[in-house]
Amino acid sequence: MQSAGRRYRQAERFMREGDYEKAAQAYRELVTKNPKDQPARLGLSRALLKLGNLNEAFDHAAEALRQDPQSARARALVGLALLRSGVFREASEAFAAALVLDEREAIAWAGLAEIDFFENRAELSYQRLRRATALDPNEPDYWIALGRAAARLEKFREAAEYYEKFLAVSPRMDVERRERYRGLIAFYRALSLLGITHLHRIEGERTARIPFRLQRDRPFIQARAGNDVLLNFVIDTGASISVLSYEAAERLGIRPLARGGEARAVGGGGKFPIVYGLLDSLDLGEIRIFNIPIYIRTIHHTGNPEGEGEVVRADGFLGLSVLANFRFTIDYAAQTIILETEPVSAMTPAPTAEGSEIPFRTTNGGLVSAEVKLHNGEIVNFLIDTGASATVVGAHVVKKYNLEKHILPSPKIRVLGAAGVIENVDLILLPSLSMNSLEQRNIRAPVLDLGAVNESAGFMQAGILGGSFLKHFRVTFDFSRARIRLVPQTDAIRSTNERPSEG
């Protein structure tokens, strides 16, 4: 029988090798033998966090904290489990408390930095991650987070250096991420060789009004790219980087700049190969944008349902890496998109306007996430995705809140995602969804496994608010202030603040 010391050293080796299943098993054996073994319980919590088992990770960190209220590591792990679950205020409090106990607790510094990143404080996130990597230079996740913060600040050469450090310390078993970041490093270096230091450079008018066609609850616009090539783009806030199909890239003469790894996505096999390219210019009305990074990938299409008429096929998706440079409005009733380039200070209050203003956070990939209230009163995070036809509910949410009784016995539907088609998908009939005081009732939503989404988001997403919800509003995205404004445009939306009329 192995000694406790030897088994603990084995567990630590498994962690360094990236074999988190074996590490968790080893730590669990130690905790079972001695429930007061604090290092083993803390190790088990951290291994479970790496595996995405958030509830059990939280339970073990909380028990370690109960046994030793002065443990900075236990408080930091409680905070990290809360953060991954999307519970921000309590997570922030736990990280701050950990640093009061030990100002050298790297998990707490990195956790606060992640919150800063999600809440659009990129510079503060960058500084705190510098501290975390100095305290624990052997944690791969810190180098990825620092590279991400540097990239958001457009320090691309620096970002490439941090991703190189990730490769130097990350376990060889972490194959997918290592391939993905090799590709990203190659892309940044290709930009450097081309002499490009500033992406998404904007020229032209301060405002552009662009008509769109709403098809299957997705807004399609026409834009001119490269040498006056007219393309059909979906306005897609569910895409962090813009996308061109292989056919469109060939028409424009765009060659791949770098390749590396696979992106996780909904549909098909759950992945698609990452191929980077660069679109020289794109005209959106009277605004021209230069140096647009793109993914080049297969764009999946479904057949044309009877009676739908002529269907526009997407040549690409205009993602948030472009759209976040503007204050932009999608007016579904007028079928018009308004882009405004005039910078607005984050400290400037918004002009008084109708509707409801809602704060949002951004995920690791830069996607917009906002709080939504379910019919049972639970507050959860949903991605705001104009490129999705339907509102989607995660299968994990159905299980967590016992919503199975709301699943419709028929029909089963077909869902098209970025990675392909999913057949025989359940539909759930949700009694209501609301944002602030704006509520939609009786929403039919596909139930999907959002594991691919949550793996890359950084905090738990319960679902996706798609066009079936958004089309009832004029929607304004204000990235300088991290706010969305929703102005209802149809009777499908009711205000929960309204008093019923007296008889």
Residue 3 has a pLDDT of 84
Residue 347 has a pLDDT of 45
Q: Which residues, given as ranges, of the chain have pLDDT below 70?
A: 1-2, 267-270, 302-309, 342-353, 418-419, 498-503
The helix (H) or strand (E) run that includes residue 338 is strand 336-340
Which of these, 293, 264, 282, 366, lies nearest to 324 by C-alpha position?
366
Predicted TM-score of the model (pTM): 0.90
Residue 197 has a pLDDT of 80
Q: How far is the C-alpha of 24 from the C-alpha of 216, rounded, in Å?
A: 45
In this predicted model, what pLDDT tens digit does every residue of 53-63 receive, in sequence order? 999 999 999 99
Return the amino acid letter for 129: L
Spell out the domain ranges in the chain.
Answer: 1-103, 201-300+311-341, 356-495
Cβ atoms within 10 Å of 478's Cβ, excluding its own: 19
In the CATH scheme, what is the homologous superfamily, with its name and number, of domain 1-103? Tetratricopeptide repeat domain (1.25.40.10)
488 close to 438: Cβ distance less than 8 angstroms: yes
Residue 499 has a pLDDT of 44
Q: How far is the C-alpha of 328 from the C-alpha of 343, rounded, in Å?
A: 12
Q: How far is the C-alpha of 80 from the C-alpha of 87, rounded, in Å?
A: 10
> Chain centroid to CA 366: how far?
6
Q: Are strands 438-448 and 368-374 parallel, antiparallel or unpaired?
A: unpaired
58 close to 81: Cβ distance less than 8 angstroms: yes
CB-based burial label for 150 (10 Å; 0-12, 13-18, 19+): buried
Which of these, 443, 385, 446, lies nearest to 415 by C-alpha position?
446
Domains 201-300+311-341 and 356-495 share a fold: yes
Cβ atoms within 10 Å of 71's Cβ, excluding its own: 22
Residue 324 has a pLDDT of 94
Residue 501 has a pLDDT of 40
Residue 413 has a pLDDT of 84
In this predicted model, what pLDDT tens digit does every residue of 114-141 receive, in sequence order? 999 999 999 999 999 999 999 999 999 9
The helix (H) or strand (E) run that includes residue 133 is helix 122-135
Which of these, 176, 173, 168, lies nearest to 133 by C-alpha position?
168
Backbone angles phi, psi at 74, to 5 degrees: -65, -45
**Domain spanning 201-300+311-341, CATH architecture:** Beta Barrel (2.40)
Q: What's the topology of domain 356-495?
A: Cathepsin D, subunit A; domain 1 (2.40.70)
Cβ atoms within 10 Å of 32's Cβ, excluding its own: 10
